[in-house]
Amino acid sequence: MKNNEMINLIKRRRSIRNFKEEQLKEDELNQILECAIYAPTGCYNQPWHFTIIQNKDVLNKMSEISNEEMSKSDDKWLSNKGKKNKPLFFNAPTVVVVSGKEDAYSPLTDCSAAIENMLLAAESLDIGSLWCGLVSHFFERKEVEVLNIPEGYKPYYAIALGYKDGETPEPLERRRDIFTYII
């Protein structure tokens, strides 16, 4: 099987949940954001908006409120998770909220493509990243106003970014029974 840096990188990337406190360098963050906007988009809509948050008070509030909402859930797993009140972003120093333009052709898909580009760009710079979906509970609350999301855009996900504290874990096993070939 052929081996190249891009393929190795894709297979090496892991969700990181241990971050150093040190902030990312500006040019590293800019490179990651630049890669986000080179993702493909339906009808070339580019229907996204990126909110870069480095304010600890805001990040703590987002985490706290999400956990509070989760703890009220009927879903046992979710409510237990919320009650533990663990920091949602694992103290990453930078979090990027990705929002999609609601009337675009395929905003959620386009934003997800941008997110994957960010995760891979981060890994290429040896920067840790985590795709955070649980923050959606914060997006439902009025306190989301603090993010100043532009009118017509819906926040979907947050991406935690920071220098890894410790070794990158080994890749998780992947299912292999998911391919159908029509020859």
Ligand X SMILES: Cc1cc2nc3c(=O)[nH]c(=O)nc-3n(C[C@H](O)[C@H](O)[C@H](O)COP(=O)(O)O)c2cc1C
What residues line the site for ligand X (CB under 6 A)?
Answer: 14-15, 130-134, 172
Which of 44, 115 has the CB closer to ligand X?
A: 115
- Identify the burial level of 98 via C-beta atoms within 10 angstroms of its C-beta, where 0-12 means exposed, 13-18 middle and 19 or more buried: buried
Strand-pairing partners, residue 164, are 19
Minimum distance of ligand X from residue 14's CB (angstroms): 4
Reduced to 3 states (helix: H, G, I; strand: E, B; else coil), residue 46 is coil
Minimum distance of ligand X from residue 130's CB (angstroms): 6
Q: How far is CA 63 from CA 67, 79, 81, 107, 135, in A?
A: 6, 14, 12, 25, 7
Which of 40, 169 has the CB closer to ligand X?
A: 169
Give the residue closest to ligand X by C-beta. Answer: 133
Which of 96, 134 has the CB closer to ligand X?
A: 134
Break the chain down into helix, strand, coil percent, rounded to 5.
40, 20, 40
Minimum distance of ligand X from residue 10's CB (angstroms): 10
Minimum distance of ligand X from residue 133's CB (angstroms): 3
Which of 107, 181 has the CB closer to ligand X?
A: 107
Which of 15, 73 has the CB closer to ligand X?
A: 15
Minimum distance of ligand X from residue 47's CB (angstroms): 18
DSSP string, 82-151: HHHT--TTTT-SEEEEEEEETTSSSHHHHHHHHHHHHHHHHHHTTEEEEEE-TTHHHHTSGGGGGG-PPT
